Structure formats: C-alpha cells, structure tokens
Amino acid sequence: MSKEQIYKLSELYDNTTDKNDILNIESKLKKLLKPYKEGSIGIAQINPIAGDIEYNAKKIVKYIVHSQNIGLDLVVFPELCLMGYPIEDTIDRHPIIVEENIKWLKQIAKITTNTTALVGFVEPRKYDKLTGKKYYNSVAVISEGKIQSVIRKSLLPTYSEFNDYRYIQPSPVVGAQSAETLGKFSAKKVQICPKTNIINGRKYGISICEDCWNNKEFFNDTTLYSLDPIEELAKEKPDVFINCSASPTRAKKEQLKHNMLSFISKKYTTPIVYVNQVGAIDNSSFDGSSRVFDKNGKLLARAKSFKEQFLIVNPDKNLGKIYPLTKGLEQSLTETKVYTLEYEPDLERTYKTIIQGIRDYFQKTGFVRAVLGLSGGLDSTVCAVLLADALGCKNVFGISMPSKITSQESKSDAQKLAENLEINFCEASIKEMFETTNNCLQKLFKSIEKKWDSRYEKSFTSDNIQARSRAMFLWGISNEFGKTLPIATSDKSELYMGYATINGDMSGGFAPIADVPKTKLFALARWINKNREIKNAIPQSIIDKKPGAELAIDPKTGKPLIAEDALMPYEFLDEIIWRIENKKEHYFDMLNSKFLYEKKHPISKEQKIEWLDKFYRRMASALYKWSILPPSVIVDSRSINKYDYKQPITSSGINYKGLSNEEIKSKILEIL
C-alpha cells in the first residue's frame, strides 16, 4: 500500500514545479520511504541538451536535492548527463565546455550530503605526455560535499550513429578509481582499490552504457570487444550493478536489451539498475525506459518511455513500479528473419520516436513553428499529423500549393485534413511561379543548347520546377516569420530511389519521416486514425489513393503519374530495402529468393530483374541526396541518415552484381 503511495507521490512530483507542492510531497515521501531507505535508489531519467551545461546541471542539482530531501541512498543519472550524449567533436573544438562541465561537477559535489549521486561527465586527460585520446567518458561518484571516486567507460561504440572512439580514450581498467585520479588517471598507476563502491554499507558495481553490452555467453561468443567489464565487476561480488546509459531507440533493439540485462542480473545473481537518457539529440531519439532487474533476472521496475521521470526503486526491498513500455519497444532481434508487412507492433514506438525527435529538435534549436506543403498525398499528411502532435496544432501551417496538375480531390483532401487536425491552412497556387520560371528557363535553355549538345529529349525539369517553387514558398515563410522551420516530407522508400527533388520536397529544416518506408507509412496512417485521441483525422481517401507526386501527367492515362509506375510496387521496393538493411543481401540473393510481393502477384524473372536493376541504379545516384538531407529521426534498425550510414558518393559505380572468378580471369587475360 505504502509502495503505491510512493509511486503516486513521485508522479505528482514529476508534474509540478510549485515549491510548496514539492516540499509537501517530499516530506510525505521521506516518511513513506523510511522502511526502504537502505539501498534506495533514485533513477533520474533526464532529457539533456547537448553542450548546454547549465541547463543540464540545473536538472541534476534539482534531482540531487530532491533525493536528499526524501532520504535516498543514491541517485543515478544517465551517461554524460552534464554534456548530453552525443556531443561529438564539439568537445574538441570548443574545449571551454569541458572546463565548464568540470567546474559544475565540482560545485555540484559541494552541495551533496549523505545521498550519493552518480553524475556522467567528460573528463579531460591533462598530462604533459599523452598517449591516446584527450578525454574519458566518466561517471563521478559524489557525496558528503566532494567527489569520492571516478568510473571510466571501457567499451566505446563506434558504429551506426555512435562515434565514441573518435574523441574518447577507452579506460583500460574497470570500476572505481579514487577522486585523486580525476584528469590524471594513468593505467600505469592503477590503484589497488576495490572496483566497486561502498555506499551506505552496500557494494555497487558501476559501469557506463556499452560496458554492459559484451557478455560473451549472451551474445554467443560474437562480441565487439574482448574485455567484459561486468564480468570484472562481478568478481568483487557487488550487491547491485548500476549502468549509466544513453541508448537511442531503434527498431528491434529493446527486447535484446531487456533479455541481456535480465541475463546479466540472473547470471551473477545481482540486481542491475539501468538508467537511460531520454529525449532526442539531432537524429537520435532516446527512449528512456530505464529499468531494474532483481537478482533472479526478473523485471522489478521500469520508467516511462519517451518521458522525463524520477523513479524511486530499491532492488533489495522489492520497491519499484513497472510502467508500461511503449508498444513496439518489445520486439526481439530474431524476429527480423522474415519480411512482413505487419507493422502494427512497431507503430506506437515509431510514432513516439518521431514525435520526440521533432519536438526536441525544435525546442533545442529554438524553433517553435513548422510550415509544410499539404499535397493531399500520404507523405505530407502523415508529417502534418506528427507535427501537430509534436508542436501543437496552432504552431503548424499547412499550405496547399496546387499546380495545374493538382486534382480537386487533392486540394479538398488537404483542406479536410487541416480542419481535422485544427492546424492553420491556406492555399497558394504555384501556377504563376511555374509559368514564369518555366518561361525564363526555356529561354535560357535555348542559349545553353547553342553550346552544349547534351539536352535531354525528355527531362524532369518541369516536374522539378513545381517542387522547387513550393519549397521557395516554404523557405520564404521561414524567412519572414520568426522561429519557423519548413519541413521536408520525403519518405525512406522514395529517398532510396532518389525520388525526391533537391531544393524541393526533400528540402527543409527537418525531415520527420525520412526513415519510414512507404508501406509502413500507410500502416502508420491507419494506426493514427485508430489510436489518436481524435479519431480518423486523416481522410480515408488519402490512405486509399495510389501515391503520386502530381508533378507530371501520364501520357497513357491522361492522369497524374502514379509513383509505383515510375518506380515499382512499394511492397516490392520496401522488401528490397528491408533485405539490404537487415539481412545484407545482395543482387543475386534477392533474385534467387521469393519476395512477399511475388507470392501475391506472380511476376516474370525479367520483371524482377528490371526492378532490381532499377533499384541499384537509382540508389547509386541517390547517394548525393542522402548527404544533403536535413536532420531526421532514425527509427528503423538501419537507416540512410548520413550520421548512421556513410558511403562515398564517388563510389556510386560499384558493380552490385559482382563478377565470377571466370569473368575476373578473362578480364585479367585481356590486359596481359
């Protein structure tokens, strides 16, 4: 009973800023917590701003004071919480922020009492003679007015969006070293001191993020590092493991994390407290969902997903509430073996990941309002919903920008959507702009073709003028109205195919759905209509119609060109993407196995070859577009986000089919 009261009061605390309320809550909590005091831990799941030390430090101070006021033994913050993770080269080019984070850390330490705090920070390595990188990724153990000891990260993720080894030196030792080593730790002078920390009579084995991701048994002897910091810590038989993390959400990652943490606590019969960052920093969206497993590997507590929260737990005394995980976070990695169009299980996570990505990008860069073109098509429609939900409907302006090709239905769909969402809406025709631009350009082309004979018989120029005129409108609004960002509405399927216009629909200050393939976008639209507070905000006709850019007329039908005719069926396209990303398949792997699409619609081998070739050709020429895409939220297990996937643009000539040994032999013979 008193446990429920603790959780309830803690939720009240999360939702108030009123000083009297807080004092009141704290005095009640303190009393209720008395029986749980020994071994009590506060999980401070915060949303930091990268590089804004003062902002982050103030949050830390707030939660330390709170923990003291309610008499907790320990309060734990996420990895690098003073800096925000990731901070990338900023710490190298702007060393002032490293100095600042040390200053704040030292001052914060001074206010600590007998509640211990674990605070992540960037530790500069200041020696006359330095071997290695200039910084450690560290956690300070602070209490009784000072820094007691320092833990340094050993395993440095340097893959996907992670770049730790770029600026961080891996710690050669695991666990705590004395405070005297701050800034001058040397592997040669490792202290003969316990790796674990004794706090109020309990022994804690503290590690940082990736340090707990290397259990050889769990990962079937296929791991990225040889050292296992948890195994090292376990040798000291700690009472509790603590892991300070900053781990972004990606598809299929969460069950793995859950299983792994459960495995570790069970294997070593030691509870583990895992504290994760929440909020988005540029392209990475962190889900929070901090949690505690008891010594039998059973989930004891879990914080909310995608929300800041202060959660009180005590692994020894069975204190800790399990908040529901956002649906979609629980899929396992092994489920990725077969392609499926059943996106439903991942849609709530997808929605929340993007909402958080948009909201934090705007808030952390100081933008408030978004403006986007509403074409009546699926991409801009889903973007509009996500923006309205992330920023508030009053802060979104949808502009219908019809050309002469735009159908009446598209216009009315756009307007209906705006009404349903209660976002701002107006119409602005691009006809005049198109005509003027096209006239000017046609004249200009006449001059150019006198000198260059490479004019295409059929070009996409007029399609692109339309897309660029619209972007011109949106950027104009951004220039004219304060704190307003235009939105790039390109989706993942079309970006893979380069089916997006430079300075047109792929231009904007943020690209919300750049990591959502088209078939999933349809599912998301249906999910939105079913699950959002206001149901069916998206007109059914938008979901029902075939996507098309409405930039050109199909000479065969006299109607606007359907995207699938220009590309290939989205179901087929999205399965290619899925196979490349998740199974690293290549051309012949795909040619020689059956696609889901083929099971429903038998196609000839020639057709399949045509689509596969088109895919590879178009993907190669899309590399440049990926490199200039605005920031976007990484959602999927793999993405084309430029901080997540790096391929030289000049490597576009890769022979995706490969050569046989015989072919290679004969090519060599030709030279000899």
> According to CB under 8 A, which residues from 453 to 472 bind its own copies?
454-456, 459-461, 464-465, 468, 471-472
Q: Which run of H or of E encompasses 364?
A: helix 344-365
CA distance readout (Å), 42 to 56, 78, 247: 17, 12, 19
Does residue 483 touch its own copies according to CB under 8 A?
yes
> Residues with Cβ < 8 Å from 440, sequence gap 6 or more?
none
What are the two backbone dihedrals, phi and then psi, of residue 70, each rounded to the nearest 5 degrees?
-100, 5
- The reply to whether 600 sits near its own copies by the rule CB under 8 A is no
Q: Give the range of 25-33, 34-42, 220-228, 516-524 binding its own copies by CB under 8 A.
A: 220-228
Q: How far is the CB of 549 from its own copies (least distance, A)?
A: 14
Q: Which of residues 233-252 bind its own copies (CB under 8 A)?
A: none
Q: Could you say which residues in the range 602-661 bind its own copies, by CB under 8 A?
A: 624, 627-631, 638, 642-643, 645-656, 658-659, 661
- Choice between 407 and 424, CB closer to its own copies: 424
x/- letters, 354..393, toward its own copies (CB under 8 A): ------xx--xxx-xx-x----------------------
- Tokens 């939900």 sit at which residue? 389
Decide if residue 217 touches its own copies (CB under 8 A): no
173 lies in the binding site for its own copies (CB under 8 A):
no
Pick 189 or 443: Cβ nearer its own copies: 443
Single out the residue of 12, 22, 477, 603 in contact with its own copies (rule: CB under 8 A).
477
Residue position matching structure tokens 């359907």 = 562
Residue with smaller CB distance to its own copies, 319 or 487: 487
Task: Write down the least CB distance from residue 135 to its own copies, Å.
Answer: 12
Site for its own copies in 132-151 (CB under 8 A): 132-133
Tokens of 357: 């990505």
Stretch that binds its own copies, among 22-30, 52-60, 141-149, 489-497 (CB under 8 A): 52-60
Which long-range contacts (C-beta less than 8 Å, at least 24 apart) are formed by 601-604? 601/569
User: How many C-alpha atoms does 537 have within 13 Å on its Cβ side?
Assistant: 24
Neighbours of 359 (CB within 10 A): 21
Choice from 51, 205, 229, 248 touching its own copies (CB under 8 A): 51
In angstroms, rounded to a whole number, what is the distance separating the alpha carbons of residues 394 and 253? 35
Exactly one of 74, 281, 300, 390 binds its own copies (CB under 8 A); that residue is: 281
Catalytic residue among 59, 81, 100, 153: 153
Q: Give me the 61-100 binding string for its own copies, x by CB under 8 A, dash otherwise.
A: xx--x------------------x-xxxxx-xxxxxx-xx
CA 36 to the chain's CA centroid: 36
Contacts of 424 (CB under 8 A, 6+ apart): 394, 396, 397, 398, 418
Say which of 26, 79, 494, 581 is annotated catalytic: 79
Any contact of residue 535 with its own copies (CB under 8 A)?
Answer: no
Q: Which of 11, 52, 564, 598 contacts its own copies by CB under 8 A?
A: 52
Q: At what angle do helices 518-531 and 378-391 cross, to 10 degrees?
A: 50
Hey, is 540 helix, strand or coil? helix
Give 69 or 607: the residue with its C-beta nearer to its own copies. 69
Count of residues in the chain: 672
- Known catalytic residue: 212? no
Q: Which parts of 404-463 interact with its own copies (CB under 8 A)? A: 424, 426, 428-430, 432-433, 436-437, 439-441, 443-445, 447-449, 451-452, 454-456, 459-461
Cβ–Cβ < 8 Å for 369, 395: yes
Q: Is 440 a catalytic residue?
A: no
Give the separation between CA 173 and CA 191, rounded to whole angstroms: 10
Q: Are 105 and 148 in contact (CB under 8 A)?
A: no
The CA distance from 236 to 198, in Å, is: 11
Instruction: Please give the positions annotated as active site.
Output: 79, 153, 209
